[in-house]
Structure 1
């Protein structure tokens, strides 16, 4: 990834961590496919290396922004929409822990602890921001508000395998509870109020992520495919179908970092489908997982090209 010009560091957005989430999602989806088809782990290791490089670049740039342009960071934190993207930092750390777990339990353990603590702090801080001393309007509410909830249900994915059952259930419960609450609010906003701004329309895909990730987390904690887990997985498919009905609205929209919202939810549903296919010996779900993986690869490839072009033409990290 090319370095953002120094004079634009002040405008380097926290939403860039959505790029990291998308790449790590692709890493985990590729690994799930390799496990399902028994093809080894070369491709997923390559994608992981690229993802780590991108994550390091984004983390260094945003850290530099924190020290050099702190008022701009405070402004993002005060923004009614951007504040929901701050947990993408802890989510990226948790996803990296999951991705590294097959190769180094020690490194994954450290990353999981750091990510879990950060996720807890950021979740409580964002919620405190929501219910604090500010008045939010319906136009501020959108699918991006699911991001803190998604982060909580990611905690058990590695946490359960590392032996942290009670902490995993704590975060899972919090994530599930806030997903249900926010789902009601977001659907009310989408149905009864003004449509999402064009720039945020791709965030509709985030609707898919909470139930898909919750299915993976629930299985990691229980080791079972039961009625509740089937409800979670099929809820992901239902939301995917709902989003598909709106897909034509995406055509012609100008590129923005919000387009990276397309990637991680599709990756989560891909991984969930491979997991269910393996546990239930379901060829139908394996076919769906393969189809979703192909779509995910095409989506990420498109997003990488569009992002690179935007950086090269200096049409990114502009004042809003």
Structure 2
């Protein structure tokens, strides 16, 4: 193996799969927009690019597992990076949603693999939290929501494939631990030292559980009721709250953690389009369009900044 490539592979972070989550979220958002506006093409291109990205990253991280097993185990026991392992299973579940209208069979295969793997990751992560010996309150950050979000995603394609009770099972897990972790996260943010700059972008993850929860609940029940509104509008409020902090986010140095902006913003965009389809209120359509523009510009910027960081050798380097 090339000597310069080998060390880069050794330090390939598990958090790199957050890029797939962001790209798949953008793909699904454009699929929703296409349904509402009657044009096509953008989502198909995005889906192909995202699938290729996932395949490349899976191959790369699989190579790291074979060649640098100790480094993978180190991440698997890290209080922060541990929560990013479920981004692999979440990527599979998201791809199952994105391919639902393309190939029902492929979608179900991705859904089955992603859901089963995510259940294993959830059990592992929760067991690690329960039996830990070194976690501190300072280790707690919104990235801990990632295993939870994956469970809430499962019903979105699961109901379409006829797995209704299994979908309720995953939804229940996600909803329960979202509320538990939300309380702990706000306690940590308010009463303890601020998040390190590198983890500040993970605050956007707070948007994802209620936004994704709304979409999943809509699939499970088929309509908008009081609880559905509670989920959507709480996600929208968190989005507005975080947009008031835009200057703080803009001053941050670029890290791979910036990709934490992408999927949650995609989730609230998709949720807004979904609510418009149910209620037909034109302000929701306009809000969805604005969010889609912001999301698309954000993803273009993230791709550019990531490419620049890779070129400069700022990614896949040893970290503390």
- TM-score range, shorter-chain basis? over 0.9
Q: Write the distance in 1 (CA, Å) between the matches of 2:271 and 2:244.
A: 22
Deviations 1:215-241 (A, max 9, x none): 000011111111100000001011112
User: Is 2:143 aligned against 1:153?
Assistant: no
- 1:37 partnered with 2:37: yes
TM-score, normalised via structure 2 length: 0.97
1:138 counterpart residue number = 137
Q: 1:250 deviation in Å?
A: 1.4
Deviation, 1:5, is 2.4
Aligned partner of 2:299 in structure 1 is 300
2:175 maps to 1:168: no
Runs of 4+ in 1 over 3 A off after TM superposition: none
Where structure 2 has 5 or more consecutive residues not aligned to the other structure, the ranges are none
In structure 1, distance between residues paired with 2:278 and 2:185 = 33
Look up the SS of the partner of 2:133 in the other structure: coil
1:258-297 equivalences under 5 Å are: 258-297=257-296
Total equivalences in the alignment = 316
- What residue number does 1:256 align with? 255
Spell out, residue by residue over 1:126-159, the C-alpha distance to the aligned partner (whole angstroms, 9 max, x if none): 0101111323111100110110110000000000
Match of 1:11 in 2: 11
Aligned match of 1:210? 209
Bigger CA drift: 270-279 or 238-247?
238-247
State the partner residue of 1:239: 238
Q: Does 1:98 align with 2:93?
A: no
Q: Deviations over 1:250-275 (max 9, x none)?
A: 12321111000000000000000001
TM-score by length of structure 1 reads 0.97
Q: 2:73 aligns to what SS in structure 1?
A: helix
Q: CA deviation at 1:36?
A: 1.1
Q: Take 1:5 and 1:169, find their aligned partners in 2: how far apart are those partners? A: 44
Provide Cα deviations, 1:35-60, integer angstroms capped at 9, x if missing partner: 11122x31100011111111111111
